[in-house]
Structure 1
Amino acid sequence: MESQFGNPDVIVVGAGNAAACAALAAREHGASVIMLEAAPVEEAGGNSRYTAGAMRVVFNGPEDLKQIIPDLTEAEIASADFGSYTVDQFYDDMGRLTEYKTDPDLAEILITKSLETLIWMRKKGVKFQASFGRQAHKIDGKFKFFGGLACETWGGGEGIVELEHKAAIRDGIKIFYETPVIELLEGDDGIIGVKVRIGNKKVDIHSKAVILASGGFESNAEMRARYLGPNWDLAKVRGTRFNTGGGLNMALKVGAMAYGQWSGCHSVSWDMNAPPFGDLVVGDSYQKHSYPYGIMINARGERFVDEGADIRNYTYAKYGKVVLEQPSMFAWQVFDAKISPKLRDEYRIRQVTKVQANTIEELAEKLEGVDPKAFVETVKEFNDSVMTDVPLNLAVKDGRGTKGLEIPKSNWANTLDTPPYEAYGVTCGVTFTFGGVKISNHGQVENEAGKPIPGLYAAGEMVGGLFYYNYPGGTGLTSGAVFGKLAGDSAGKAVTQK
């Protein structure tokens, strides 16, 4: 049985974006590499397969973007205001959104290596495109990009996994599906391989290095309850059912240092009737991210958060937790006809929890689980508070807020006064967990004494210390690629120099 795996120099655990980047980078150094994936081929790729594909990257203008998107035309450049997203802006966002807890060394690697890593991915065959559909508003005939995001993978999550796996196979990297790793093998000089389960058999595979890139513990209800807290076991999972924390538990068992915010995760507003795990047919469209332009109501018929506190890219990953904390763990997003045509495409899918009415009173009776009288009063108070003398501009933080409310709305305050009215039911959807293991600046897993564990590396969601409380949209895929390549480079060099 072991012969089918050969005697690889490097074993990569996982087959998502971080894993593929690690495998491709290690192979560049001449190492023989295999990837071991717990999922069957049709579900392979971890959370990467379920993502919409946005990638946050430093760029100083369209010329930098053209290095990633070579077919970006002059006409497209002329029709858009891409702006720029500088190193300093990326640092500011990472600091501000994590309440300045992000590990400074990891943040520096992520930020300064972002552009060169995406250029490297493109050369490996990954395709990118400008995010016209999701990260730009058309103002006076010109697309204006906002929130630091201008680039996404072609074909979303399915596209990046397909192209990275093609690149791996082209480079002679074998991918073994339905081959979960259950244990790290230890020798006198560190990690010497892994134990896998194939059916009812357990098989040892020896190697010179192991790179763990098998995701966090977001699809493990028991670990969510243990680390994230009460009711998190009831949350829906946006992505794969295979990220059960196995890699993290294996690493901790061999003495890895737990690092980062184990009580934190990326979670969003997700359709209340979505399935318990991600659905590849619907993909990321169960998300509901136009909330900054409406109001969110809980079971008491009350607003509970400043929907317009910031651009969506900087609030969506923490507002899922706020929804989870509401009575019965749900909310309704409410819009009127002035805003409805501007809602993101995900509001128009067939699998959506939606009600519509021609009056607020009629809508109130249709909002399942909501106190109708309190809701009507909330809408009246909100409408009376809107600063209607300030122009509404969805492309920037417009300062059109409210006055006199206990919970203000800071931007994009829109009176709900134009029928028909629409409301969308949401709950909390978990994307990935923030807790992980400590790695060195070379991607090596460190033990509890702060020393590298020989032969062991980590990347992707396995890396702790980057994100706390929140995260800038599009940073997950970028960090997976950057730290995947870092781990692969380090492991590849180490095993070929022995």
Structure 2
Amino acid sequence: MESDIVIVGCGISGLTAAVSAMEAGANVTLLERSCKEDRGGNTRWTEATLRMKNVGEVADDFESHFAENAGHHLDPELIKASGSSYEDWGSIVKAHPFTDPELISTFSDEAGPTLEWLQTYGVRFDSMPGYFITTSTSRIVPLGGGLAVVETLADWIEKNGANIRYETTATSLYMDEGGMVCGIKARGPEGPLLIKAPKVILASGGFQGNYEMQARYIGPRSRYIRPVARGGYYDRGEGIEMALKVGAAGGGDFTSFHAEPIDPRSGAPEPIVLVFNYGILVNRQAKRFVDEAPASVDATYEAITREILEQPQGIAYTILDSKINDVPNWQRSVRTDQQPIMASSLEELAEKLELDVQALTDTVEAYNTACIEGPFDPLRPDGLRTEQGYLPSKRNWARSIDSPPFMAYPIICGNCFTFGGLKVNSKSEVLDGDGRPIQGLYGVGEVIGMYQGTYTGATSVLRGSVFGRIAGRNAASKSRR
């Protein structure tokens, strides 16, 4: 086959790239590993929250949060160099895996125009309440979530002549004798496939569905994590690996991922449990191990989930009592389809959780003794903390657990998407190890290595939209030339 542009992946980044390229007159072929009913990658299964004040403006902390989490122990000379014009950056700066300001500035500038552009295709946005009861930043959502965005764009693409080949997996980049990217080798229902194209856009996600890559990059504790939704199982890292094999520079933190606290009993999409800040978390030894409420839950749940991963067997339990009903609409922060484990006493609860009865009762008694009376405000960090000297302390919403019935939710660490990927510039061009664009190759969405250590919440679907649109536009322009 031949095409102007071949796009690997049919999530938000691949779809926006296709629409953008087709607007510019390019002939586009998309490869999608899943069947049509599952198309859309992670986007299909998410609420797709966006870190925006409104359709036209990013949240006030958008760029600052990225800047604060750009890397670990960065060389000050490198930071100094990145403050100059991008054209003056040296090769080691351009190819460095840190989250560079040039990329984030483009991301911020293009976010509003991209959402306004999506509106012209029928996507609608609003500031609807999500699953966070307390929040530290502003967010909006597309009406109908990620599923509505996927179906809207994919339907338009197919109606306007693009070829989406389902159940087809890209296996490697097709290179000419001069080392130029000129297509994709793939495997589909009919067997091997070669699509010749002067431009390739990798939109195939991270590697949260690839257990070998997770073990290689994240380590042995990855045995305890799983994708948070079905779409993640299709993301197996081939796009990242095929680019690295031809000399692409890596970007982002390959040893980490966006962690979410999920109920291991549930197979529902994103079965998160986000009420531990109103109770306590205990591990398999029935011991507390973390401050459950250092600040607003939307800003702290990822770090707490990583602590859960470090516990024996990678599991913990949220322990609550009937006072959870003082929290308005607390159920919207629990998206599992499984009921809590209920008990009339702590002893009964421990037995149902298969925890040591004496250890759990001792842990709860020590915690209750450390709780200080004071005003409780469930809708914002209230400073109601445990007394000094008690460890681990709890800085907000510290109330005794003594009012039956008692309840518990098991929690494990879910992998929403991996952080490690490819280094790209503000045009979404994949860079080589010397910071030069690899001609004809673009990376978008989770393929981009952008995050370091801490996820800037509600930016992943937005990242896919912004850089997908940029890549499609640039690839179509260069394809015509």
Equivalent of residue 484 in structure 1, options 460, 463, 468: 468
Alpha-carbon contact 1:54-1:149 (below 8 Å) kept: no
Q: Deviations over 1:429-467 (max 9, x none)?
A: 111100001111211001112111000000011101x21
* 1:415 Cα deviation from its structure 2 partner: 2.0
Q: Give distance in 1, aligned partners of 2:406 and 2:474.
A: 56
Partner of 1:472: 456
TM-score, with structure 2 as normaliser: 0.88
Q: CA offset at residue 136 of structure 1?
A: 5.6
Partners of 2:110 and 2:132 in 1: how far apart? 22
Q: CA deviation at 1:346?
A: 5.9
1:59-116 CA distance string (max 9 Å, x none): 3xxxx45x69xxxxxxxxxxxxxxx932xx2123223455675322222222232222
Shift in Å, 1:251: 0.6
Quote how far apart the aligned CAs of 1:131 are: 2.2
For 1:184-333, what aligned pairs fall within 5 Å after superposition? 184-187=173-176, 188=178, 190-199=180-189, 201-239=191-229, 240=231, 241-275=233-267, 282-284=268-270, 286-333=271-318
**Residues 26 and 489 in structure 1, CA contact (< 8 A), matched pair in contact too:** yes
- 1:14-25 paired onto structure 2 within 5 Å: 14-25=9-20
Question: Whole-Å Cα distance in 2 between the matches of residues 424 and 174 of structure 1?
Answer: 45
Percent identical: 34
In the aligned structure 1, how far is the partner of 2:376 from the partner of 2:113? Answer: 38
Give 3-state SS (helix, strand or coil) of 1:124's partner: coil
- Over 3 Å counting, the alpha-carbon distance change for 1:296 and 1:95 in structure 2 is farther
Q: Which residue of 1 aligns with 2:378?
A: 394
- Once the two structures are TM-superposed, the CA of residue 133 in structure 1 deviates from its matched residue by 4.3
Distance verdict in 2 for CA 1:348–1:35, change over 3 Å: closer
Deviation at 1:318, TM superposition (A): 3.4
Worse-matched range after superposition: 228-237 or 13-22: 228-237
Q: Secondary structure at the match of 1:332?
A: strand
1:14-56 per-residue CA deviation (whole Å, 9 max, x = no partner) reads 0001111111111222211121101111111111112122111
Separation in 1, partners of 2:70, 2:384? 26
SS in 1 for 2:253: coil
The aligned counterpart of 1:358 is: 344
Where 1:339 maps in the other structure, the secondary structure is: helix
- Give the corresponding residue for 1:71: none
d(CA) in 2 for partners of 1:245, 1:348? 28
CA distance in 2, matches of 1:99, 1:384: 40
Give the match for residue 77 of structure 1: none
| Structure 2 unpaired stretches of 5+ | 73-97
Q: Which residue of 1 aligns with 2:100?
A: 103
Partner of 1:161: 150
User: Do structure 1's residue 130 and structure 2's residue 115 form an aligned pair?
Assistant: no
Would the aligned equivalents of 1:314 and 1:471 in 2 still touch at CA under 8 Å? Answer: no
TM-score normalised to structure 1 length: 0.85
Deviation at 1:394, TM superposition (A): 2.5
Residue in 2 that maps onto 1:73: none
CA distance in 2, matches of 1:444, 1:424: 44
Instruction: Tell me which amino acid in the other structure corresponds to 2:244.
Output: L
Q: Pick from 62, 67, 83: which aligns with 1:90? A: 62
SS of 1:427's partner is strand
Give the Cα–Cα distance (whole angstroms) in 2 for the partners of residues 338 and 452 of structure 1.
Answer: 57
Distance, in Å, in 1 between the alignment partners of 2:186 and 2:123 is 30
State how 1:54-93 maps to structure 2 within 5 Å: 54-57=49-52, 59=53, 64-65=54-55, 85-86=59-60, 89-93=61-65
| 1:115 equivalenced with 2:112 (yes/no) | yes
Say if 1:310 and 1:107 are closer, same or farther in 2 by CA, change over 3 A: farther
Please give the alpha-carbon distance, in whole angstroms, between the structure 2 residues aligned to 1:234 and 1:392.
Answer: 35
Whether contact under 8 Å (1:221, 1:234) holds in the other structure is no
Cα distance, 1:317–1:349 mapped onto 2, change above 3 Å: closer
Q: Return the alpha-carbon distance in structure 2 between the equivalents of residues 318 and 12 of structure 1.
A: 34
1:168-195 C-alpha deviation (Å, 9 max, x unpaired):
2244322111111111111236211111
In the alignment, structure 1 segments of 5+ residues that lack a partner are 69-83, 138-145, 276-281
Distance 1:355 1:97, change over 3 A: farther
Matched, 1:345 2:332: yes
Aligned counterparts of 1:136 and 1:160: Cα–Cα separation in 2:
25
For residues 453 and 397 of structure 1, the distance between their equivalents in structure 2, rounded to whole angstroms, comes to 48
